Amino acid sequence: MSVVRLVFLGTPDIARHCLESIFRDEHYRIVGVVTQPDRPAGRNMKLKASPVKEFAEEKKLPVITPDNVNSEEVIEVIRSWKAEAAVVVAYGQIIRHDLLNLFKRNIVNVHASLLPKWRGAAPIQRSIEAGETHTGVSLQIITQGLDAGDIIGEKKIDILPDENSLELLNRMKPLAASLLEVEFMDYLRGNLIANPQDESLVTIAPKIEKSEAEVDWSLSALKIKNKMRAFAMGPGVYGVLKGKKIKFFAADVLESTSTQMPGEIVSIEDTSFDIQTGDGLFRVLQLQPESKSKMTTKDFLSGHHLTIGDSFE
């Protein structure tokens, strides 16, 4: 089989990792790159290119940053690249019918779950929030349905006990790249058949809303910790103490027979403090007070006076 002319659509670091891998692969020739427009970033809110755009410009690849990838003008540009296939990795816009039709069944998406589980915008976060111990990466053909296309391949990965969503995403990068190097090429050569998803097993992973970030202390300590781990990629989680927000970054879960009210501080040590929940204690090890930097609980306690019986809202 001759070299495959490929269009790549993606935006963040995991997409750049996949793009770098494809760029090095002699079986592919990247004829065009599509990524999100530059966005304000940093303290000065200066416009910053996406990781994918930065790599494309480094390698002098044709790159466009449309506000609407489905516009007629953009589709004509992509058509002019005369690509045989397209890869989408965390691009950030929904691909509509006319663009899909350029590639028929040769446009694929890397999705960070074992489909049909966790279709949607936040598969990594929702799998950790649910307390799951394993997940994976799927390569699927893009269709009009949300993450509903036939599966070309998948790679499984364990979710480590204290791992947060950012750490898990980082470990998924080589799995995503491998699916594009091996399974996608086998599919394009006709050596691998894509299989339909089992619709009876579908679960949805809706995007993380800011309103979800405040801790509900009536939940179990384990559920609160899982949410903290999950929302590391997103808004994080916080409690409100004496009218001030405190974000939580590291914690342990302890069993408890306490009858104190959920949200109440029940013990204070040199390096931690324990908050009563609906089931068990949430031991805070690392946090970020409102308008301050992230710090250990030990450092926090050296400059803040807490009392047993103080209560989070």
Mean pLDDT on 265-292: 97
Mean pLDDT on 110-114: 98
Instruction: Outline where DSSP puts E strands in the chain.
Output: 4-10, 28-34, 39-41, 46-48, 63-64, 85-89, 107-111, 134-141, 151-158, 237-241, 244-254, 265-268, 273-276, 281-289, 295-296
The whole-number pLDDT of residue 1 equals 64
Mean of all residue pLDDT scores within the chain: 97
Given a cut of 80, whether residue 151 has pLDDT beyond it is: yes
Given a cut of 90, whether residue 2 has pLDDT beyond it is: no
Fold of 4-201: Rossmann fold (3.40.50)
CA gap 147, 198 in Å, rounded:
12
The band of 44, judged by pLDDT with boundaries at 50, 70 and 90, is confident
The whole-number pLDDT of residue 257 equals 82
Would you kindly state where each structural domain of the chain is located, as residue ranges? 4-201, 210-303
Handedness of CA 202, 171, 42, 247 (dihedral sign): positive
For residue range 210-240, list pLDDT tens digits in order.
999 999 999 999 999 999 999 999 999 999 9
Return the minimum-mean-pLDDT range out of 3-12, 43-52, 137-146: 43-52
Q: What is the pTM of this model?
A: 0.94
The band of 104, judged by pLDDT with boundaries at 50, 70 and 90, is confident
Q: What is the domain class of 210-303 according to CATH?
A: alpha beta
The whole-number pLDDT of residue 45 equals 87
